[in-house]
Structure 1
Amino acid sequence: MVGEIRLVLSADEILAHPHFGTARDIYIREMLELHENQPTENRLLIDGGTASIFFSVIIMNAGYQPHVRSTWPTMQLLKSQMETHGIASGRRTHDIVRRLIDLGYITTFTTQRDRRSTLLAPTDKMLAHDQRSLIVYFHPLHALFPHPGYPEPMRRDRAFHRVAREVSIAFLAHAQQFIRANPVITFFLPRQAGHMILTKLMHLCGDEDDHGVPKVSFVRIGDSFGVSRTHVRKLLREAESFGFVRLSGDSVAVTPACRSGFARFLADTMAGNDLVYRLAMAKLASTAVAGTQSAGPALADLSSSTA
Structure 2
Amino acid sequence: MGIAFMNDGVPETLPCISHETRSKWLLQRVAILRRNPNFGTAATDYANGAVRIFEGRYMANKVMANVARQVICMSILALHFTRSNGNHGATISSIQNITSGLKLCSKNTTAATIDLLENIGLVTRVLDESDHRNHLIQPTNKMIFGIRRITGIALSAADKLFPSRHYKQLIEGSDDFVERYFASSLHSLLNISTMISKLHSSKLFAISDGGGILLCKLMSMKGQPSTVTENTVCFPYDDIGHLYGVSRTHIRRLMKRAEAEGLVRLLEDGGRRIDILPPLNDVFENMVAAHIARAQFDIHLANKDYDLLPIDRTPDYYAV
List aligned pairs for 1:1-307, cutoff 5 A.
Answer: 1-5=18-22, 7=25, 10-38=29-57, 40-48=58-66, 49-65=68-84, 68=86, 71-153=88-170, 155-205=172-222, 212-249=231-268, 250-282=272-304
Secondary structure of the structure 2 residue equivalent to 1:115: coil
Letter in 2 for 1:127: I
**TM-aligned CA distance change 1:131 to 1:156, over 3 Å:** farther
Q: How far did residue 177 of structure 1 move?
A: 1.0
CA distance in 2, matches of 1:29, 1:157: 26
Q: Deviations over 1:206-225 (max 9, x none)?
A: 89999832222111111111
Secondary structure of the structure 2 residue equivalent to 1:160: helix
Q: How far did residue 151 of structure 1 move?
A: 4.5
Contact 1:137–1:270 (8 Å) recurs in 2 = yes
Give the number of the structure with larger relative contact order, counting CA–CA contacts within 8 Å between residues 6 or more apart.
Answer: 2
Q: Deviations over 1:102-125 (max 9, x none)?
A: 100001112322222111110011
Contact 1:134–1:153 (8 Å) recurs in 2 = no
Contact 2:63–2:117 (8 Å) recurs in 1 = no
Contact 2:81–2:89 (8 Å) recurs in 1 = no
Matched positions, count: 281
Misfit runs of 4+, over 3 Å? 6-9, 151-154, 206-212
TM-score, normalised to structure 2, is 0.81
Letter in 1 for 2:198: A
CA distance in 1, matches of 2:176, 2:256: 45
Letter in 1 for 2:158: L
Secondary structure of the structure 2 residue equivalent to 1:148: coil
Contact 1:74–1:120 (8 Å) recurs in 2 = yes
Letter in 1 for 2:283: G
CA distance in 2, matches of 1:116, 1:222: 43
Q: How far did residue 244 of structure 1 move?
A: 1.1
Letter in 1 for 2:63: L
CA distance in 1, matches of 2:187, 2:70: 18
Structure 2, unaligned runs of 5 or more: 1-17, 306-320
Q: How far did residue 13 of structure 1 move?
A: 2.5
**TM-aligned CA distance change 1:154 to 1:60, over 3 Å:** closer
**TM-aligned CA distance change 1:157 to 1:132, over 3 Å:** farther
Letter in 2 for 1:262: F
CA distance in 2, matches of 1:126, 1:239: 32
**TM-aligned CA distance change 1:46 to 1:203, over 3 Å:** same
Q: How far did residue 199 of structure 1 move?
A: 1.1
Q: How far did residue 227 of structure 1 move?
A: 0.7
Q: How far did residue 205 of structure 1 move?
A: 2.6
User: Which has more radius of gyration?
Assistant: 1
Percent identity between the aligned chains? 21
Letter in 2 for 1:275: F
CA distance in 2, matches of 1:209, 1:272: 35
